[in-house]
Chains A and B, each alone.
Chain A
Amino acid sequence: MTPLPAWSAPFAARTPMDPGLLVPSAALAGIGLLLVGSATRADPGSVFVQRQAFSVCLGLALMWLVSRSEPRVLRAYVPVVYLLGIAGLVAVLTPLGRTVNGSQAWIVLGPGLGFQPSEFAKVATILALAGVLGGRGDSGRPGGRAVLLALALTAAPVLLIAMEPDFGTALVFCAVTIGMITLSGARMRWLAGLAALSGLGLVLMWRLALLRPYQLRRLSVLLDPEADPLGSGYHATQARIAVGSGEVFGTGLFRGGQTAGHFVPEQHTDFIFTVAGEELGFLGAASIVLLVTLLLLRGLWITASSASSYGTVLAGGVICWLAFQAFVNMGMTIGIVPITGLPLPFVSYGGSAIVAAFAAVGLLDAVNRTREAVP
């Protein structure tokens, strides 16, 4: 028998990917391509769609590759992946990093060839946390040292990302960590301590005025976007107008007047959901929400039915990430969450985010295979 590569698992080689994961994520990416095309149609000669299509192909390939891997084998590479992720986050703060929209979050290797280390750090951190929290302790639940290690492993990327600064992404890490510790079955006192710590951190941020003025304005604008429609509220107001004006059926793809007129800034990236809202209407926007929900519910089912606590924590971390990010992204475009720079997974333009999200789905599928292999 020919020895297979270490990351491969023979039991899974012929099984196709779980359609409950593949169909919604691929569908979202397909819709994303159309919406990116619509959002950038007014810029002649732009190659956003082509590049996004390339990213999607890359993401699908990586997803397939990751889904073939055996999670326990994957686990061996976690320290390397995590350190690479941290290295990327450090590198972005050096002169290698490029600042876009106020965040030094990009590393540009060449013209049209750049990436966002924080996206890959999400995957790396989730893998690392799963390795630490995933069923090491005697009782099957992580002990205090594991929880503390997990917190330390999260703190590093969170601090690095906060220095970019990109608080939206940092918040994703926090949400993922809280979710994974909860799922790991850690004792309630750890969770309570974590909650207390978070509260303390928030109070400190407030008291030490770590929030910048624009962040405070975004918070106040959430409550009353009409207060300053041409200033801080502009983004929120225009996003709301674009989404609301779609009404039930939308103006039709490539026909949105608000989209064509570039009334919503960043509409091909973070505000892609406004394009769906205007051009596809409630039916289209709700369909996107539905696809995201299907993917998340399928992921939750995989989380619940995983044979190992490692798989549970890993899949749960992915779900926390995608759920939080999708909610915050859609929420900010419709005025229920303050505006932060987070992309809509699978849909927003952005190669790093696309590839990372597909890799995460690959992880879910890999966890799913362990269930099938060990009935």
Chain B
Amino acid sequence: MALLAVVVSSMMLTVLGRLWYLQVVSGPYYARAAADSRLRTVPLPAPWGRILAADGRPLTADALVGRGGLETWYRADLAGRAGVRELAVDSRGTVTRVLGERGPQPGNTLTTSVDPRIQRLAEQALAVVAAKAGRESTGAVVVLETSTGRVIALAGHAGRETHGGAMGLDTESLSGASGALIAQRAPGSAHAITAAGAAAAFGFGRRTGIDLPNEATGYIPDSVHPEHGPAAGQGEVLVTPLQLATAYAAAVNGGTLFSPRLAMAVVRPDGTVVRTIAPPAAGRVAASPETMRGIRHTLAAISSRGSALDVHGGPGTSWSACYVPAETPRYVVVVVSSRAGGHAADSAARTMREGIPRLSTTRGT
């Protein structure tokens, strides 16, 4: 009898003790587990911010905008923050109730200095080059504002579809960036600024720091970098069209070597400006005033004369550059074309030189 009483009591005390452990000691843990099993969270993706051209309309230059372009570089600003919806579910996963919702935060808008008309002009000029040169060719057009370092147009390809049809690939630089960044051509007779002593001064051999991914560094042979020793010398200076453009800009803006920027500002959907973006000065050109004047004069003279300045590179590469307008250089244009002979780049440069002032006079209409 007493035995039975002890057995019964200890059984009930065991249950009580276990209940105490489950509900009081571990209660919060199980409450969480219960909530988790009843809760399903559904992410609400945030709409990406827009990328606007200088005219306030969406920038349509796919090569600049998409993956590998501005969207990658300014991802943190454009992506926004995903929202979340919390749903109550039963054991079969059927939604019984909406518990709450935090709406997504749309991404910010990115405004750029890209002039859509000049950009289109550049793309068309490039397409003509491509059509003339055949499928083996790659090319690029860079238009910078000389006084600020802002990018006005940047056309070029590394394997992307363009207006004139697909161009050949620069197989060494297939990373998807704009050709203007990665085409590394020996600048041939642009000797004024690529002469061994001056190359480093103009910022060649290092990235300009433009706000696009996959920029190439170019190359300066070791005779320019004596510390590397003479044995490693490889020959020609390799520069990207963008590096050349920044150097030409420096020649007319008083020597400031800008790190070019496409973006101008990050703006919230409600219109408030998060931050403005200006091309920082990456350095000052250490070339002598005579050299600078010489460059300015050469480019200006040639462009005003109506024939592209030239600059023939090694076999298979042609360069052409000019200031627009020639007298008061507001923009610098650099064109590069591979395997096209000199005329292809020249005609593209001429297209730009003649087209840009026309566009400028109609601006705002």
Query: Chain A residues in contact with chain B, CB under 8 A?
Result: 42, 179, 182-183, 238, 240-248, 257-258, 260-263, 277-278, 281-282, 285-286, 289, 292-293, 296-297, 300, 303-304, 312, 316, 319-320, 323, 327, 330-331, 334-336
> What are 24 A-B pairs with beta-carbon distances under 8 A?
A42-B90, A179-B4, A238-B37, A240-B22, A241-B33, A241-B34, A244-B31, A244-B34, A245-B27, A245-B34, A245-B35, A247-B27, A247-B28, A247-B30, A261-B88, A261-B91, A263-B34, A263-B90, A285-B19, A289-B15, A297-B8, A303-B4, A316-B1, A323-B8
CB atoms of A319 and B37 under 8 A apart: no
Partner of B23, one of A261, A282, A303, A316: A282
Assess whether B96 is interfacial by the CB under 8 Å rule.
Answer: yes
Q: From residue A171, how far is it (CB to closest CB) to chain B in Å?
A: 14
CB atoms of A243 and B4 under 8 A apart: no
**With A and B bound together, what is the CA distance between A312 and B4 in angstroms?**
12
| Nearest residue, chain B, Cβ from A282 | B23
CB atoms of B12 and A289 under 8 A apart: yes
Partner of B1, one of A246, A292, A293, A304: A304
CB atoms of A330 and B15 under 8 A apart: yes
Given contacts A245-B34, A261-B90, whether A293 and B27 have CB atoms under 8 Å apart is: no
CB atoms of B24 and A282 under 8 A apart: yes
Partner of B38, one of A261, A300, A336: A261
CB atoms of B3 and A244 under 8 A apart: no
Contact pattern, B 1-34, Cβ under 8 Å of A = 1, otherwise 0: 1011101110110111011101110111111011
Q: From residue A31, how far is it (CB to closest CB) to chain B in Å?
A: 15
CB atoms of B23 and A258 under 8 A apart: no
CB atoms of B34 and A257 under 8 A apart: yes
CB atoms of B22 and A293 under 8 A apart: no
| Nearest residue, chain A, Cβ from B3 | A182
**With A and B bound together, what is the CA distance between A327 and B92 in angstroms?**
30
Assess whether B89 is interfacial by the CB under 8 Å rule.
Answer: yes
| Nearest residue, chain B, Cβ from A257 | B38
**With A and B bound together, what is the CA distance between A215 and B4 in angstroms?**
28
CB atoms of A289 and B19 under 8 A apart: yes
CB atoms of B9 and A293 under 8 A apart: yes
Q: From residue A367, how far is it (CB to closest CB) to chain B in Å?
A: 14
Q: From residue A222, how far is it (CB to closest CB) to chain B in Å?
A: 12
Complex contacts, A285 vs chain B, CB 8 Å: 19, 23
Q: From residue A126, how far is it (CB to closest CB) to chain B in Å?
A: 15
Which of B18, B19, B24, B33 is the most central at the interface, judged by chain A CB atoms within 10 Å of its CB? B19
Task: Name A's interface SS.
Answer: helix
CB atoms of A244 and B26 under 8 A apart: yes
Complex contacts, A281 vs chain B, CB 8 Å: 23
Partner of B30, one of A182, A241, A248: A241
Q: How many residues of B contact A (CB 8 A)?
A: 35
Complex contacts, B4 vs chain A, CB 8 Å: 179, 182-183, 300, 303, 316, 319-320
**With A and B bound together, what is the CA distance between A319 and B34 in angstroms?**
36
Q: From residue B321, how far is it (CB to closest CB) to chain A in Å?
A: 69
Q: From residue A77, how far is it (CB to closest CB) to chain B in Å?
A: 27
Partner of B12, one of A248, A296, A303: A296
Partner of A246, one of B12, B27, B91, B92: B27
Complex contacts, A179 vs chain B, CB 8 Å: 4
Complex contacts, B15 vs chain A, CB 8 Å: 289, 327, 330-331, 334, 336
| Nearest residue, chain A, Cβ from B28 | A247
CB atoms of A336 and B37 under 8 A apart: no
**With A and B bound together, what is the CA distance between A319 and B30 in angstroms?**
33
**With A and B bound together, what is the CA distance between A261 and B34 in angstroms?**
11
Complex contacts, B34 vs chain A, CB 8 Å: 241-242, 244-245, 257-258, 263, 278
CB atoms of B23 and A247 under 8 A apart: yes
| Nearest residue, chain B, Cβ from A258 | B34
CB atoms of A334 and B22 under 8 A apart: yes
CB atoms of B23 and A244 under 8 A apart: yes
Told that A244-B27, A245-B27 touch, could you supply 10 new A-B pairs with CB distance under 8 A? A243-B19, A244-B26, A262-B90, A263-B37, A263-B90, A263-B91, A286-B19, A300-B5, A323-B8, A323-B11
**With A and B bound together, what is the CA distance between A287 and B77 in angstroms?**
58
Which of B18, B22, B91 is the most central at the interface, judged by chain A CB atoms within 10 Å of its CB? B22
| Nearest residue, chain A, Cβ from B2 | A304
**With A and B bound together, what is the CA distance between A286 and B8 in angstroms?**
15
Complex contacts, B19 vs chain A, CB 8 Å: 243, 277, 282, 285-286, 289, 334
| Nearest residue, chain A, Cβ from B11 | A327
Q: From residue B248, how far is it (CB to closest CB) to chain A in Å?
A: 68
